[in-house]
């Protein structure tokens, strides 16, 4: 026995709403936590792999800020 289409669609929207809230929450808290690593990386110096890691974390922080900016609004 299959589930009627409208019920399946409503259930999918509810799950998508819950997941988007979870993703926004994770992005919000990541945007807060990531900058805590910057002083350590700057202290170690930005040569080679450390510099690439620093740039990657800057990009990840910008992405987390963009995704999680309206969490709990």
The helix/strand/coil state of 70 is: coil
Residue 47: inside a domain:
yes
pLDDT digits (tens, 9 = 90+) for 6-62: 566 566 667 667 668 888 899 999 999 999 999 999 999 888 888 899 999 999 999
Residue 70: inside a domain:
yes
Residue 7: inside a domain:
no
Please tell me the total count of domains within the chain: 1
pTM: 0.71
Residue 48: inside a domain:
yes
Residue 2: inside a domain:
no
Rounded to whole angstroms, the Cα distance separating 18 from 48 reads 40
Residue 9: inside a domain:
no
**Domain encompassing residue 42:** 24-73
Rounded to whole angstroms, the Cα distance separating 35 from 58 reads 8
Residue 67: inside a domain:
yes
- Quick one: pLDDT band at residue 71, thresholds 50, 70, 90? confident
Q: Which two tokens stand for residue 43?
A: 């202290």
Mean pLDDT of the 55-70 span? 92
Residue 59: inside a domain:
yes
């Amino acid at each position: 026995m299959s589930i009627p289409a409208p019920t399946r669609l409503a259930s999918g929207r509810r799950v998508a709403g819950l997941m988007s809230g979870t993703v926004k929450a994770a992005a919000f808290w990541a945007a807060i936590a990531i900058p805590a690593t910057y002083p350590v990386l700057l202290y170690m110096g930005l040569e080679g792999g450390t510099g690439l890691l620093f740039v990657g974390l800057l990009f990840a922080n910008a992405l987390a800020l963009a995704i999680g900016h309206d969490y709990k609004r």
